[in-house]
Amino acid sequence: MDYTEKLRAFPMLENIPREDLAALSTLLREERFPAGKDILSEGAQGNEMYLLTEGSVDVIKATVFGDSFVVTTLDDRSHSVFGEMALIDPDRRSSTVRAKTDCRTLVISRESFDRFCEEHPRCGVRMLRMISIHLVRNIRRENENLKQVYQALIEEIEAG
Amino acid sequence: MDYTEKLRAFPMLENIPREDLAALSTLLREERFPAGKDILSEGAQGNEMYLLTEGSVDVIKATVFGDSFVVTTLDDRSHSVFGEMALIDPDRRSSTVRAKTDCRTLVISRESFDRFCEEHPRCGVRMLRMISIHLVRNIRRENENLKQVYQALIEEIEAG
């Protein structure tokens, strides 16, 4: 399958020339998930990034008390990606991602991504830069969250 | 100045061939800071990454209450870098970095880094990958911190 046209819509791939998107396309496979299905499971090992091409997903985190909450919802209109940390540094998934509706995704493994960067280093630089921007913004958001929860904790201690 | 030998010690630059380190070296400038001096200031705009070649620094964050705390201390034995988010996505600095002893650093600007990636894309891929690993580990650490502070908050509310 040629996914080049679908790839063009993703902000993470902007500035990648069409012929390189075609090369990237050959490294992808499509995966479908029915509504309610976990695409990623927090704590599980993973080494793949997903591009959401159809449907919407909930990003869910467990708390230390065993319950969980929806951090955010992504849908195909935002041309979102998830699981991108596993392309960089394979480790346990930091969140669960659950199909909220029936979903289609394009999936790329770390091995394929490494090969793409090796063979198309200029595009590798651009993709890694976009992934890094994503990561940096994630860190800044987490910093803000941490400050807010910390503030609430101190206020609670002082009120108590 | 040729900083190639100094650069070889930095884990972030492992796998970069010697000749490319020499090219990178030409884009760096050395900056010295006396003990007590702020190298970066939280909230200030910045577009440079620092490699710590001599001395040690405190990484400091302000709380919402106007006080601050030392997040971590870095020293030259660990061949640490800081300010790397500004190479990726220029925005306000997320921490203050203060010289704990007299320090020497090598400094690279985003413009120079972009040019290096353009001219040496294979090395750009390797450097961006190392920076990304750094970012991902930062996110995972922040996730853990957030969970712990959240847990403390809930326990405080329940005890109250």
The pLDDT tens digits for A115-150 are: 999 999 999 999 999 999 989 988 888 888 888 888
Contact by Cβ (8 Å): A69, A20: no
pTM score, whole prediction: 0.87
Global ipTM? 0.85
Among candidate residues A131, A154, A105, A3, the one with its CA nearest the CA of residue B128: A131
Contact by Cβ (8 Å): A97, A32: no
Does position B64 have pLDDT exceeding 80, yes or no? no
CB-closest option in B136, B149, B154 to A146 = B149
Distance CA A109, CA A115 (A): 10
Please give the average per-residue pLDDT across B103-127, as a whole number: 94
What was the pLDDT predicted at A132? Answer: 92
Tell me whether residue A110 is exposed, middle or buried, using C-beta atoms within 10 angstroms of its C-beta: 0 to 12, 13 to 18, 19 or more.
Answer: middle
Taking any CB pair shorter than 8 Å as contact, residues of chain B touching chain A are 63-65, 85, 88-89, 91, 94, 117-118, 121-122, 124-125, 128-129, 131-133, 135-140, 142-143, 145-154, 156-157, 159-160
Q: Identify the three-state secondary structure at position B38.
A: strand
What was the pLDDT predicted at B39? Answer: 97
A139/chain B closest Cα distance in angstroms: 6
For the record, the structure tokens of A83 come out as: 């699981």
Please give the average per-residue pLDDT across A61-66, as a whole number: 82
The DSSP code sequence of A74-123 is: EEGGGT-EE-THHHHS-EE-SSEEEESS-EEEEEEEHHHHHHHHHH-HHH
Does position A153 have pLDDT exceeding 90, yes or no? no
What was the pLDDT predicted at B154? Answer: 85
Q: Domain limits of chain B?
A: 4-159
The pLDDT tens digits for A68-119 are: 989 899 999 999 999 999 999 888 898 999 999 999 999 999 999 999 999 9
A100-114, B62-76, B97-111: segment of lowest average pLDDT: B62-76
CATH code of A4-159, in short, is 2.60.120.10
Tell me what percent of the residues of chain A surpass a pLDDT of 90: 64
Please give the average per-residue pLDDT across B108-117, as a whole number: 94
Which chain A residue's Cα is nearest to B142?
A142
